[in-house]
Amino acid sequence: MKKPLDLRFRQVHLDFHTSPDIPGVGSQFDPDAFAETLQAAKVNSISCFARCHHGMMYYDSKIHPHLVHPNLADRNMLKKQMGACHSHGIRMPVYTTVQWDDHTAKNHPEWLCVGENGGEVNWYTLYDPGFYRFLCVNSPYRDFLKAHVADIFDVLGPVDGLFFDILFLTDCSCRHCRAGMEAAGLDPVKKGHRMQYAQDTLDEFMTDMSAHVRHFSQDCSIFYNSSHIGPVIRPRLQAHSHLELESLPSGGWGYMHFPCTVRYARTLDLDCLGMTGKFHTSWGDFHSFKNREALEFECFHMLALNAKCMVGDQMEPGGILSKPVYELIGSVYEQVEAKEPWCEKAEAIVDIGLMTPEEFVAVGHAEPHPAVIGATQMLMEAGHQFDVIDSHSDFSAYRLLILPDNIPVSDELRDKLDRFTADGGSLIATFQSGMDKEHTCFRLDLGVSLMENQTRDIQGKPVAGREFERDAYADFLLPGESIGKGLPLTEHVMYRKGMEVAALPGSEVLAETMLPFFNRTYKQFCSHRQAPSSGIRGYDGIVQSGRRIYFAHPIFSQYRQNAPKWCKTMMLNAIGRLLPAPALRHNGPGTLIATVNSQPEQERNVVHLLHYVPVRKSVSIDIIEDIIPLYDVKVSLRADLCRCVDGAVPIVQLVPEMKAIPSEWDGNRLVFTVPVVRGHQMAEVRCERE
């Protein structure tokens, strides 16, 4: 598939899921006012609806005229939206739904996904409001979808793109899927087989549908939305023209979802788009408004991580765009427009490859693994530059690889990692990473071996890393001076027990694990939580062997759970031993997000500094309401990133303000001080051309 032109920076995803019980749909729609509102808000691309989750269509369908919304005032509304947008230079991809369609589900129950108990697959109950019953793309419903796509092209003519929504991995036992599993030699009785078949079905559907779309257009963009992008996308990557990362921080994804997923998505050689929403909570939250400060952060964070911007909205039934909403969006997109020149075709400068456990967990995992979230949080707080990668990634792009908590190692992966370190790379592994899938032995040489007598529970299972009520199996790390720099050199509790390992000859023990007096049970306990340290050494906790460091504990999952600062301090000290000259350093607080990108065509690097602090001031969502400025933020970049040919000091200026600031060499680092970071500040670093 031909790679499309770069995506536009200022996009809107315009939901229009409109009940057939609402009258006067589109009765207030005015094409010129629609496009002028978008243009005034600096929007240059908007996704509009052909068909919604209610199963209603918003164009004059030739093959399904009965599915056009019964109260749609103008059956050509979608076509007029497209004409108005194009006349104002605004791109307009077309949206349609896939697995959720309330009308089709009611009228074609034979196309529904069937659970193993014989009932329909529904996110909720039969009596809950919603259109969340799943249709099976392995049934004749696929023919309906293909005809629908052909109809869109027939009625609308050439379209800029197609956005296919709701493609979730669904455990389906309908007759079509059972027959398909049996033909493939799979056993429908086994859930693992069903889930693998469901995955294969989605991959095949996307490939098949994209080929179908290409009969009508070789140029329109195509994206299939599953609400998360991870390693599972690799087999179907060729079906997409680009990637859109749905990640509404207040809608269930949270503020750590986007930085994890975009750092993976941007390594896949397709242009990326971040998608947030204007809503205070999530989709369909009519007449709500995100705080401007929050929308700024979410959009500027996209720019800092090499993604274009998209804001989700839902058009009101009358067909008008809310003036206050587009004043809000415009207030942010006006700033995005000014920043675009320093974000176009930008490439992340990275030191670290953070491997995700997603590809190794059970089929169907559709969110970042806790270990990756914890590691991402740590690295962001320290200003490290990194990607999230999988076993298929090119390791040579990194100086340091981190295998967080749960990365099993096959022969192939072991050989690839060995080549990486043999070529001068460094590696950190934690907990069960580097072991076989059953956690019975180490497959990767990390300078440790399992001790013979692993602590076990009453069922005989190893207790390493297991969470028990009241910290039954907590133990304690006693760091040495190097790994414990910045900490008191005493025991530090580890709430999730590590693998019991012993350092091999030639390895250096950086921290020891001390045992509690006893594990906490109803028969034997002390105070409210774990028993204190007994002072008796149990096993080696942190071990270095050459350019490899191993942590016995699930330190990243632990950080995700309750963020002990001592866990972060020891990990960052370990990184410092292996990566003494990181791409970027700063003296700001852990709440400062710092990235550095390269623009090869402009021969410059751009540093992004963001300081917006989410606060859990409600029960369910984090809120950004205030901008807390930072003053005199000192930044340094490694010399090879900004060395001028003649050794002169590069020019550093704040952009887009075009205000020069002083810089100087300090050994092998270029140092400059940003006077103030008020929300988001970029700094351009370049050499003077002759």
pLDDT digits (tens, 9 = 90+) for 434-472: 999 999 999 999 999 999 877 776 566 778 876 655 567
SS (HEC) of 64-96? CHHHECCCECCCCHHHHHHHHHHHCCCECCEEE
The answer on 502 and 631 residing in a single domain is: no
pLDDT of 645 > 80? The answer is no
CB 476 within 8 A of CB 513: yes
Residue 424 lies in a domain: yes
Residue 483 lies in a domain: yes
The answer on 669 and 559 residing in a single domain is: no
Q: Which residues are bridge partners to 272 per DSSP?
A: 243
Give the separation between CA 357 and CA 20, rounded to whole angstroms.
44
Q: Which domain holds residue 546?
A: 350-578
Q: CA of 402: how far to CAs of 256, 372, 472, 511, 575, in Å? A: 18, 10, 29, 19, 9
344, 378, 405: which is the final residue of a domain? 344
Question: How far out from the chain centre does Cα 356 lie?
Answer: 11
Cα–Cα–Cα angle for 506, 433, 416, nearest 5°? 80
Q: What digits encode the pLDDT tens for the residues 247-277?
A: 999 988 999 999 999 999 999 999 999 999 9
Q: CA of 313: how far to CAs of 248, 252, 278, 460, 653, in Å? A: 11, 17, 6, 53, 36
Q: What digits encode the pLDDT tens for the residues 53-78?
A: 999 999 999 999 999 999 999 999 99
Residue 291, Cβ density class (10 Å: 0-12 exposed, 13-18 middle, ≥19 buried) = middle
Question: How far out from the chain centre does Cα 240 lie?
Answer: 17
Q: How far apart are the first and last CA of the chain?
A: 41
Question: How far out from the chain centre does Cα 458 lie?
Answer: 39
Beta strands in 462-532 (DSSP E): 475-479, 492-494, 501-503, 508-516
CB 630 within 8 A of CB 588: yes
The answer on 574 and 635 residing in a single domain is: no
**Which positions ≥6 away from 399 have C-beta within 8 Å?**
351, 352, 425, 426, 579
Q: How confident is the model at residue 646 (pLDDT cuts 50, 70, 90)?
A: confident
Cα–Cα–Cα angle for 176, 180, 184, nearest 5°? 175
Q: What is the pLDDT of residue 4?
A: 47
Q: Which residues are bridge partners to 449 per DSSP?
A: 502
Q: Which residue has the tokens 């509304």?
A: 77
CB 654 within 8 A of CB 674: yes
- Percent of the chain past pLDDT 90, that is, above it, reads 91
The answer on 387 and 530 residing in a single domain is: yes
Over residues 487-501, mean pLDDT:
95
* Residue 569: count of CB within 10 angstroms of its CB: 18
- What is the model's pTM? 0.96
How many alpha carbons fall within 13 Å on the CB side of residue 308?
A: 22
The answer for 414, left when phi > 0, alpha when psi is -120 to 50, beta otherwise, is: alpha
Q: How confident is the model at residue 367 (pLDDT cuts 50, 70, 90)?
A: confident
The answer on 14 and 128 residing in a single domain is: yes
Nearest to 394 by CA among 369, 420, 415: 420
Question: How far out from the chain centre does Cα 264 lie?
Answer: 7
Q: What digits encode the pLDDT tens for the residues 188-234?
A: 999 999 999 999 999 999 999 999 999 999 999 999 999 999 999 99
Q: Where are the alpha helices (DSSP H) in 17-73?
A: 31-40
pLDDT of 21 > 50? The answer is yes
Give the separation between CA 431 and CA 560, rounded to whole angstroms.
15
Q: Which residue has the tokens 């270095």?
A: 544
Sign of the C-alpha dihedral, residues 117, 120, 123, 129?
Answer: negative
pLDDT of 2 > 50? The answer is no
* Cα Rg of the chain, angstroms: 27
Rounded-to-10 torsion of CA 567, 571, 572, 575: 180
Residue 81 dihedral angles phi and psi, to the nearest 5°: -60, -45
Over residues 292-300, mean pLDDT:
98
The answer on 565 and 597 residing in a single domain is: no
**Which positions ≥6 away from 422 have C-beta within 8 Å?**
none
Q: What is the pLDDT of residue 470?
A: 58
Residue 162 lies in a domain: yes
Total domains in the fold of the chain: 3
The answer on 588 and 547 residing in a single domain is: no
Nearest to 33 by CA among 73, 85, 105, 68: 85
344, 361, 383: which is the final residue of a domain? 344
Whole-number average pLDDT of the chain: 95
Residue 3 lies in a domain: no
Residue 216 lies in a domain: yes
287, 321, 344: which is the final residue of a domain? 344
357 secondary structure, DSSP code: G
Residue 324 lies in a domain: yes
Q: Which residue has the tokens 């069960």?
A: 432
Give the separation between CA 200 and CA 197, rounded to whole angstroms.
5
Residue 433 lies in a domain: yes
Question: How far out from the chain centre does Cα 353 lie?
Answer: 15
Kindly report the CATH number assigned to the domain that includes residue 399: 3.40.50.880
The answer on 564 and 639 residing in a single domain is: no
pLDDT of 5 > 70? The answer is no
Q: Which amino acid is at 679?
A: G
Kindly report the CATH number assigned to the domain that includes residue 666: 2.60.40.1180
Q: How confident is the model at residue 642 (pLDDT cuts 50, 70, 90)?
A: confident
CB 652 within 8 A of CB 684: yes
Q: Which helix (H) or strand (E) holds 598?
A: strand 593-599
The answer on 431 and 571 residing in a single domain is: yes
Q: What is the pLDDT of residue 468?
A: 52
Give the separation between CA 319 and CA 126, rounded to whole angstroms.
31
Of residues 15 and 5, the one with the higher pLDDT is 15
Sign of the C-alpha dihedral, residues 141, 145, 147, 148?
Answer: positive
Give the separation between CA 174 and CA 183, rounded to whole angstroms.
14
Residue 1 lies in a domain: no
Cα–Cα–Cα angle for 3, 299, 316, nearest 5°? 95
Nearest to 85 by CA among 22, 28, 8: 8
The answer on 591 and 574 residing in a single domain is: no
Helix (H, G, I), strand (E, B) or coil at 197: helix
Q: What digits encode the pLDDT tens for the residues 647-661?
A: 788 999 999 999 999
pLDDT of 364 > 90? The answer is no
Nearest to 455 by CA among 505, 496, 512, 511: 496
The answer on 505 and 443 residing in a single domain is: yes
Q: What is the pLDDT of residue 1?
A: 39
Burial 416-444 (b: 16+ CB within 10 A, else e): bbeebbeeebbbbbbbbbbbeeebeebbb
Rounded-to-10 torsion of CA 223, 229, 233, 237: 40
Kindly report the CATH number assigned to the domain that includes residue 69: 3.20.20.80
Q: What is the pLDDT of residue 321?
A: 98
Q: Which helix (H) or strand (E) holds 104?
A: helix 102-107
Give the separation between CA 31 and CA 319, rounded to whole angstroms.
10
Q: Which residue has the tokens 């697995």?
A: 99
The answer on 534 and 480 residing in a single domain is: yes
Q: Which residue has the tokens 């071990």?
A: 543
Q: What is the pLDDT of residue 149?
A: 98
CB 342 within 8 A of CB 658: no
